[in-house]
Structure 1
């Protein structure tokens, strides 16, 4: 009985700590510790995720994606059933006013099918820019970028960030670019799009998992020049993040 009481209090302390500002490493350590408490620990993790995402509707954070990733592998039937009930389609709620249904992208990112997710992302961007199936052009001009709705661009970005432990996404790439004084040569090197200053060849020289450098995905064709990506990084959507 005393041991159960101790474990309960210990779990409560960990749950409280997960609501504070922590590094990714610290969050993973706490989640791992909770899961060592067997089913009870995982149940409390699920309760925390439901509380944050469903009841409080807090802004998505790295702690949510890490808990989601861990619970998606649960071996406990009761937890799996409840987890699927609440988060069977992911932890990002897709709004009805978006131009596109992004559930297929969310599904690919949840299952870490990053190469397919990258292809679909490029398809979505072309569609958002007004290029339909009748248009033979399957790439974007820099003049197309401003026509992409901010809300849709932000949703694509948050999906990539959420299911990559904040390693991938346009805003991640943009921050790397800005932090290096908008120097494209350094930027390509940082995100792993060049090898000894030579552009990587698609698809084999790119890395399609989270072992890739930060900002490695999604891809953009830098061989067409920097104007398109520059326009993307200067899109009005990012003001919503900065404000």
Structure 2
């Protein structure tokens, strides 16, 4: 079966958007935000049954997710975040690959099995604290309020003001690239929301995570995460006065 070529390189770019419907890489001359690893030479295609076609030798064992798995297994979450972004473009289809960014409406074309694989790798190599499935659960617990969700996963920070206000973290320096005790649950992977949240909403509402939502919630409860205890309620971010300070300068 033919494979889709992914010989694309993204160097010295900043992730941003021009509309609520799209995300893309914008060149910047000021400084280098991230350095992409060499992408896999091709994205292995699969049959309708989800089984990859047999090939000879070592190539038979290779998968499109090997680079991501390698970064995550070595706890290189920064590179894993960039590789996840590259994978979304690759998996969204030929148009997204040629364009170099994903329209929110193209998320539906990503196979559920592929999104689950990405999510599984993130959860497996973070003790269940990172991944889209984790973010979906926290988004639901935030009543699908993105402002509350952004604060909860640490994408926004409390400002040093008398009135309780929050601002977006700047990419990449203010994000947490190590898994420590104080690292917020669901902090990674990142999804750009410079001019809107439609892309993130499309990912979090993808059918890939609908069946696993209940199981994820049960797993979190068994691990001591709670399901609405008094202690958890106290930890929820207070948003009184926060909305007035928000500006659409989400730059990661």
Coarse TM-score class (shorter-chain normalised):
0.5 to 0.7
RMSD value over aligned CA atoms? 2.2
1:97-176 paired onto structure 2 within 5 Å: 97=52, 101-131=64-94, 135-138=98-101, 140-176=102-138
Determine the structure 1 residue equivalent to 2:191.
220
Determine the structure 1 residue equivalent to 2:147.
185
Structure 1 unaligned runs (5+)? 1-94
| Residues 38-63 of structure 1 deviation map (CA, whole Å, 9 limit, x = unaligned) | xxxxxxxxxxxxxxxxxxxxxxxxxx
Distance 1:134 1:237, change over 3 A: closer
Determine the structure 2 residue equivalent to 1:232.
203
- Please give the TM-score of this superposition, normalised by the length of structure 1: 0.57
Higher helix share: 1
Instruction: Name which one, 1 or 2, has greater alpha-carbon Rg.
Output: 1
| Residues 148-175 of structure 1 deviation map (CA, whole Å, 9 limit, x = unaligned) | 1000000000000000011100000000
- Please give the TM-score of this superposition, normalised by the length of structure 2: 0.55
Structure 2 unaligned runs (5+)? 1-49, 54-61, 159-165, 215-252
Determine the structure 1 residue equivalent to 2:175.
206
1:241 aligns with 2:212: yes
CA distance in 1, matches of 2:94, 2:167: 30
List structure 1 segments (4+ residues) > 4 angstroms apart after TM superposition. Answer: 131-134
Higher strand share: 2
SS, match of residue 135 in structure 1: helix
SS, match of residue 216 in structure 1: coil
